[in-house]
Amino acid sequence: MSVLSKPYFHDEAAAFAFVERIIWNGEPVCPHCGVVGRAYALKAVRSKPSKKNPEGVVRHGLKKCGACRAQFTVRIGTIFEESHLPLHKWLQAIYLMCSSKKGISAKQLERTLEVTYKTAWFLGHRIREAMRDTAMTPMGGEGMTLEVDETFLGRQATIFVSGKGWQQRRGTGDMRKIVTLVERGGRARSVHVPSLRKEDIVAVMAHADRASVLNTDQAQHYRRIGTEFAAHETVDHGRDEYVRYDGDVVTTTNTIEGYFSIFKRGMKGIYQHCSEKHLQRYLAEFDFRYSNRSALGCEDEERAARALAGIVGKRLTYRGGTNRRTEAASA
């Protein structure tokens, strides 16, 4: 049996059971009144007949709250509520995005899931949002090495130079700038910054635990802030120095170079175009897969389950008043 033959990827009832297990762990929470564990399942309820479905469709995962008598499903209060896509297709999309190291394009999702491009695009961005780390605990810490480096995306504008024609401008001024922090043997966190000026570097470094040992290249903008750390070691790429060993202390930025290489291959090969507005979301996606990677003991299925928990966690808010009797979104 392959992973793709799991029932929750095909069968809507199994998909509901799977999501309920991850979100509720056996104790349904009523989204209307917040009471835990008093709901019971309503079986074989069908939606109203329509032209398309004259006999109605089965309302999977329908529950009734023993406290406030309102009906709900696990979709309520989550991003799934806004969408009419069957839950098993959501699970397929989440799995595909979590298991593809360089990401998966909206075009590919459109073909694989047999949905419209618009739906595929929406799915991709919602799942990226789910992957976003909201806890934002400090990166690094005592006894940990934190590698920090920047990378650039996009291209420089061209300018007309008399006698030479159109020339690409030098430098990185027009390119998008990304600063990433990578814990050696741990997580990654990337920030799209407007510039590499002091205030922007300081803002990114607010994510770093000062008890860490900082490893960077020789870039000027890390020098001053580096003095705040337990230690700041640099490698001199200008002199072809990429790794330095002092006893058992290793100084390098190779870990973060590895991260950037996956990110760039993904952005060039898979996503190709990415507007400035969405860049931070793509960064969240690459950070998520890196921070929950196989080398840290997190395999594809576990990674998908973590993303799923993020999807629900992001919008789990209690509703009251006018929407109290809102029925569950139909599958």
Sites of contact with Zn ion (CB under 5 A):
30, 32-33, 35, 65, 67-68
Report in angstroms how near the CB of residue 65 gets to Zn ion at its nearest: 3
The rounded distance, in Å, linking the Cα atoms of 22 and 78 is: 13
Taking the least distance from each CB to Zn ion, the nearer of 37 and 49 is 37
Taking the least distance from each CB to Zn ion, the nearer of 31 and 266 is 31
The rounded distance, in Å, linking the Cα atoms of 31 and 328 is: 10
Taking the least distance from each CB to Zn ion, the nearer of 27 and 142 is 27
Closest CA to 87 of 50, 58, 46, 53: 58
Taking the least distance from each CB to Zn ion, the nearer of 39 and 148 is 39
Tokens 């594809």 belong to 300
Contact status, residue 215 vs residue 147, Cβ threshold 8 Å: yes
Report in angstroms how near the CB of residue 74 gets to Zn ion at its nearest: 14
Contact status, residue 250 vs residue 243, Cβ threshold 8 Å: yes
Report in angstroms how near the CB of residue 38 gets to Zn ion at its nearest: 7
Contact status, residue 306 vs residue 155, Cβ threshold 8 Å: no
Report in angstroms how near the CB of residue 67 gets to Zn ion at its nearest: 5
Report in angstroms how near the CB of residue 30 gets to Zn ion at its nearest: 3
Report in angstroms how near the CB of residue 325 gets to Zn ion at its nearest: 11
Taking the least distance from each CB to Zn ion, the nearer of 40 and 117 is 40
Tokens 């989550």 belong to 78
Report in angstroms how near the CB of residue 320 gets to Zn ion at its nearest: 11
Report in angstroms how near the CB of residue 70 gets to Zn ion at its nearest: 5
The rounded distance, in Å, linking the Cα atoms of 46 and 154 is: 51
Taking the least distance from each CB to Zn ion, the nearer of 172 and 326 is 326
Taking the least distance from each CB to Zn ion, the nearer of 30 and 96 is 30
Taking the least distance from each CB to Zn ion, the nearer of 67 and 296 is 67
Tokens of 119: 């739906």
